[in-house]
Amino acid sequence: MTAGAVLLAVISWVHLLAAVAWIGGGLFYLLVLRPALSQEALGQSGGPLTRAVAEQFRGAVELAIVVLLVTGAILTFQRLTAPQATAAYALVLGIKIALSVALFGLAYWLGRRGAVERLLGARAADAAPRSPRRRLPSPATATVLLGAAILLLAELLRLLFR
C-alpha cells in the first residue's frame, strides 16, 4: 500500500467521521435530548441548558461542515480522475453534492437565524396537531433525513467505485 493510498484512506475516514458526528448528533437531539428537555420547552424555549447545548452543537456542525467540504473536495477530485469513475458514479456523486449543498444551506439558515435554540425548545409546538398545509418535517428532522440520504448515496458510490 502506497503512502498516497493511506492518506486517501485517512481522508475518507475523517470525511465519514464528520458526517457521522453531525448526523448522529441530530439523531441524538431528535430521539434523546428533545424529549428530555420537554419540561423546559413547555415553559420556555431559551433556557440556559437549551442555549448551551445549541451553542456547543453549532460549533460541532460548523467544524463538520469545514471538514466535509475540504475532504469532500479532495475525494471528489481523486475519484473523478480515476479510471473507475463511470457516468453512473458521476451522476450519483452529483446528487450527493446537491443534497449536501442543501444540508449546508439548512445548517447555515438555522445557525444564522438562531433557530437552533428555538428548535431545542419546540417540543410543545411539535406536540400540537399540524394543519393540512404544514406537512413538511421540522428543520431538525429534515437535517437528519437529508444526512441519512447522503450517507446512503455515499455507500452507493462506494459500491460503484470498484
pLDDT by residue for the chain (162 residues), tens only, comes to: 899 999 999 999 999 999 999 999 999 988 888 777 775 655 555 567 777 777 888 889 999 999 999 999 999 999 999 998 999 999 999 999 999 999 999 988 887 766 555 555 454 444 455 555 567 788 889 999 999 999 999 999 999 988
Instruction: Give the model's pLDDT for residue 48.
Output: 73
Instruction: Give the model's pLDDT for residue 123.
Output: 46
What's the whole-model pTM score? 0.78
Q: Distance between CA 134 and CA 29 in Å, rounded?
A: 22
Instruction: Give the model's pLDDT for residue 124.
Output: 43
How many independent structural domains does the chain possess?
Answer: 1
Q: Residue 156 belongs to what domain range? A: 3-160
